Amino acid sequence: MIGAGLLVTGCGGALEPAGPVAGRIADLWWVLFWLGAAGFTVVGVILLLVSTGRESPDFVTDRHLILFGGIIMSLVLTIPAVVMTVVVERDLHQGLRESTEIEIDLIGHQFWWDVVYRSGGDEIRTANEIHIPTGEPVKLIVTSADVIHSVWIPEIAGKIDLIPGHSNELILHADTDGVYEGRCAEFCGLSHALMKLIVVASPREEFDVWLEGQASPADVEIDAGVRQAFANSCAPCHTVRGLFEDEISETFLGDFGPDLTHLASRRMIGANLIPNTPEGLARWIVDPQGVKPGNRMPDVGLSPDDLNEIIDFLQELS
């Protein structure tokens, strides 16, 4: 167990916290680890003595073994674990009760993340990429659109389930600028392991500029051919704010897939599986099931010319 635990420490993430929330969880982990290691060592020593055939000293009786191994050692190991767990849980819940300036909705889908900022009554939507200001607590309000998911961003937050019809809350807090990786931590279908998330922490000034840019509608020129191709193949499931409103009928969903209004500003696509490049976009559009089996995007059967024009258009959505 000790070896396995030390091996885990080399993986970073959960044991290299970059914020106070993750730091408290890491403190608890280390307490539980060393308590478990102590119990494992004591039991191992006893088993070693027994396996070598050595007799216990005359003053060590079965009653002593039961008293020490079954009662005293259990209390010594369990009480600190319980106390530390309760203290950490209390601290985390206290953080949830405190007011935060920024609240973000996170909705899990098979197999991507819908991210919604609410600013001054406006709804700002993006996907698979959360931006937060460094050094400030941000409340994440989570739910699911289909099955149970679970979000875990180990360096800056705890882990919480996303449950259909129910909202849970989580605090994100990064002390330093950077990009922090998260994942779905609850098996949710065929491509559960490919459901990635990133959190970008940046200075408040940069965050405000980013948020202002995300709030604006798309501002690109689009010719009639691209408009028609996109409206027929993409607009039924994807929104580009400021465009295609006339083409989308009430039978189209528009928000069934990720919002594409500022797609070009994102680092990755496919829930952070493929670089956001022309080659990556082409790979995803032509063979979405080959990239992420079981996802709900079909092969829309674009002609090579339409594919190239739509990729050029998507790259302009910055």
Give me the tens of pLDDT residue by residue for the chain, a chain 318 residues long: 445 554 554 455 567 888 888 888 888 899 889 988 988 887 777 777 667 755 555 555 556 666 676 677 778 888 888 888 888 888 777 777 777 889 999 999 999 999 999 866 678 999 999 999 999 999 999 999 999 999 999 999 989 999 999 999 999 999 999 999 999 999 999 999 999 999 999 999 999 999 999 999 888 888 888 888 888 888 888 888 888 665 555 445 567 899 999 999 999 999 999 999 999 999 999 999 999 999 989 888 889 999 999 999 999 998
CA gap 186, 81 in Å, rounded = 25
pLDDT of residue 251: 46
pLDDT of residue 9: 46
Match domain 102-215 to its CATH number in 2.60.40.420, 2.60.120.10, 3.40.50.1970, 2.60.40.1120. 2.60.40.420
CA 138 from chain center: how many Å? 14
Short-list 152, 150, 300, CA closest to 236: 300
pLDDT of residue 92: 79
Longest dimension (CA), the chain: 95
Q: In the CATH scheme, what architecture does the domain 224-315 have? A: Sandwich (2.60)
- The whole-model pTM stands at 0.83
87-92: list long-range contacts, CB under 8 Å, 24+ apart. 88/24, 88/25, 88/27, 88/28, 91/24, 92/21, 92/24, 92/25, 92/158, 92/171
pLDDT of residue 168: 94
Residue type, 156: I
- Map out the domains of the chain as residue ranges: 2-97, 102-215, 224-315
pLDDT of residue 253: 52
Query: For residue 86, what are its two tokens?
Result: 């309760």
pLDDT of residue 183: 93
102-215 shares its CATH topology with 224-315: yes
